[in-house]
């Protein structure tokens, strides 16, 4: 259930946010709504893959410069940073939107559908904003315009982070939030807190979901190489079969989650996505490789699961005379919503959306590289409804699919949320 504010707490929250005029923000968002939708359609129609967002970055930077903001281009390859320095002294808050698209061919019948092509892992692919990053871009562009109009009254600085490569940098490249942090976008501007929004295609417009603590999972990929001894398929006893060992390892990995992990604490997932080995029906191969993903929401559980994966794979392989080499790769950390920050900003969510439209939800086993920002400064990452309210969520196309759609009527709420989160944080922490 969503925590219920006591009358005293509600009064305190309202007094703390008295300097943010929510009606004024809503009116300002409504005034530029058509332009925000136009921006979203443009970005959607001309998507670009991770670390290749050249035109998207230019489109964003040109808008921010037209507002008179301090603008930095080519951050973390193709990202853009805009800086709004308020007219009063105060703190520094960051607002983030991711800007990259996915190697997905669009199937939705909309007039601004993507026809773009790109190269992914050496192959030509369709390119589509199949996760809603185009909406994030447009909403933050809109918030930048609304906030710029209030520059004289803002106690502090707002840093707009338009981040590339959230979906992962191309192989052999750095990118995304991790590279932005490495390049110093938080330290250089003295950022104290960060806020992010992600559209959700299966939540009705006008609603927002949040989760204190671990909100989205850490994501780590793994490779297990099982080495045996090649033999004729008609005489398996003359060799060591890595395929049967690999099959047992897959089952063993599931036992880690089903029988060795305290799932009442936090969920965890181990999935094998690919197994490759052998070239002919009657040859037992020398080697089999499997790759997969690990999703966790607790750092201690993650470390324990990593150990169990290594132990399970090597011991099962050894039991059949094979060997297993396990490599677990670095990935995205847990997207962690600072509990104190979440409590502090909950009144803002409720004042913006209406308390009845703000929902405490369970964690999501998807991953987000906003987690790199949240690892550095207290942060809040929320999920905004983008589904036509007349739809059944069960029928709404999911993210990363060719039929993914977002209702444009939800964009104005994103503009309001970005704006109010920044203003309320600065007023509460530093306003007078």
- Known active-site residue 100: yes
CA-wise closest residue to 176 among 33, 317, 51, 362:
51
Q: How far apart are CA 124 and CA 160, in angstroms?
A: 32
pLDDT tens for each residue of 237-267: 999 999 999 999 999 999 999 999 999 999 9
Among 98, 145, 166, 368, the active-site one is: 166
Domains of the chain: 17-217+334-430 (3.40.630.10), 218-328 (3.30.70.360)
Sign of the four-CA dihedral 382, 203, 125, 110? negative
Q: How far apart are CA 415 and CA 33, in angstroms?
A: 9
DSSP result, 250-263: HHHHHHHHHHSS-T
Q: How far apart are CA 217 and CA 164, in angstroms?
A: 20
Specify the pLDDT at position 429. Answer: 74
Q: How far apart are CA 218 and CA 369, in angstroms?
A: 9
Q: How far is CA 318 from the centre of its chain?
A: 39
CA-wise closest residue to 263 among 189, 343, 365, 178:
365
Contact 144, 64 (CB under 8 A): yes
Residue 394 burial class via C-beta count within 10 angstroms: exposed 0-12, middle 13-18, buried 19 and up: exposed
DSSP 8-state symbol, 170:
P
User: Residue 265: how many CA atoms within 13 Å on its side-chain side?
Assistant: 12
Q: Three-class SS string for 305-368?
A: HHHHHHHHHHHHHHHCCCEEEEEECCCECCEEECHHHHHHHHHHHHHHHCHHHEEECCCECCCC
Among 100, 134, 145, 287, the active-site one is: 100
Tell me how crowded residue 229 is: count the other CB atoms within 10 A of its CB: 14
Q: Which residues pair with 72 in a beta bridge?
A: 81
Strand, coil or helix: what is 38?
A: helix
Distance of CA 180 to CAs 58, 160, 295, 340, Å? 18, 12, 23, 25
- Known active-site residue 166: yes
> What's the whole-model pTM score?
0.92
Specify the pLDDT at position 19. Answer: 67
Triad 375, 379, 381: Cα angle to 5°: 110
Ranges in the chain, pLDDT < 50: 1-18, 432
Sorted by sequence, the CB contacts under 8 Å of residue 52 that are 6+ apart come out as 78, 100, 118
């Amino acid at each position: 259930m969503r925590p219920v504010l006591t009358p005293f707490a509600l009064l305190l929250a309202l007094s703390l946010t008295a300097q943010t005029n929510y009606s004024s923000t809503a009116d300002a968002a409504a005034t530029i709504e058509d332009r925000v939708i136009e921006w979203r359609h443009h970005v959607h129609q001309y998507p670009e893959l991770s670390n290749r967002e050249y035109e998207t970055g230019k489109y964003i930077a040109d808008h921010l410069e037209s507002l008179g903001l301090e603008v930095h281009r080519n951050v973390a390859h193709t990202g853009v940073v805009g800086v709004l320095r308020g007219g009063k002294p105060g703190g520094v808050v960051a607002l983030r939107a991711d800007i990259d698209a996915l190697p997905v061919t669009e199937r939705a019948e909309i007039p601004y559908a993507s026809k773009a092509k790109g190269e992914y892992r050496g192959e030509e692919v369709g390119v589509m904003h199949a996760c809603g990053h185009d909406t994030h871009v447009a909403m933050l562009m809109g918030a930048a315009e609304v906030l710029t109009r209030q520059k004289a009254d803002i106690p502090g600085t707002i840093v707009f982070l338009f981040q590339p490569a959230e979906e992962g940098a191309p192989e052999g490249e750095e990118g995304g939030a991790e590279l932005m942090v490495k390049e110093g976008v938080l330290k250089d501007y003295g950022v104290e807190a960060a806020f992010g929004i992600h559209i959700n295609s299966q939540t009705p417009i006008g609603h927002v979901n949040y989760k204190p603590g671990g909100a989205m999972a850490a994501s780590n990929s793994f490779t297990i190489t099982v080495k045996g001894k090649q033999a004729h398929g008609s005489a398996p006893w003359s060799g060591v079969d890595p395929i049967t060992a690999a099959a047992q390892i897959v089952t063993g990995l599931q036992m880690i989650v089903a029988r060795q992990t305290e799932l009442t604490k936090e969920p965890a997932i181990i999935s094998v996505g690919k197994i490759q080995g052998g070239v002919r029906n009657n040859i037992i191969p020398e080697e089999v490789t499997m790759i997969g993903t690990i999703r966790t929401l607790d750092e201690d559980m993650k470390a324990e699961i990593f150990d169990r994966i290594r132990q399970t794979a090597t011991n099962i392989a050894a039991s059949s005379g094979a060997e297993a080499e396990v490599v677990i790769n670095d990935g995205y950390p847990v997207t962690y919503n600072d509990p104190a920050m979440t409590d502090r900003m909950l009144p803002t969510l409720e004042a913006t959306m209406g308390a009845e439209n703000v929902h405490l939800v369970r964690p999501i086993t998807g991953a987000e590289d906003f987690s790199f920002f949240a690892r550095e400064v207290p942060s809040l990452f929320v999920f905004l409804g983008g589904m036509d309210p007349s739809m059944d969520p069960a029928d709404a196309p999911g993210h990363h699919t060719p039929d993914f759609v977002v209702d444009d009527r939800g964009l104005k709420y994103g503009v309001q949320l970005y704006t109010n989160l920044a203003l309320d944080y600065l007023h509460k922490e530093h306003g007078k």
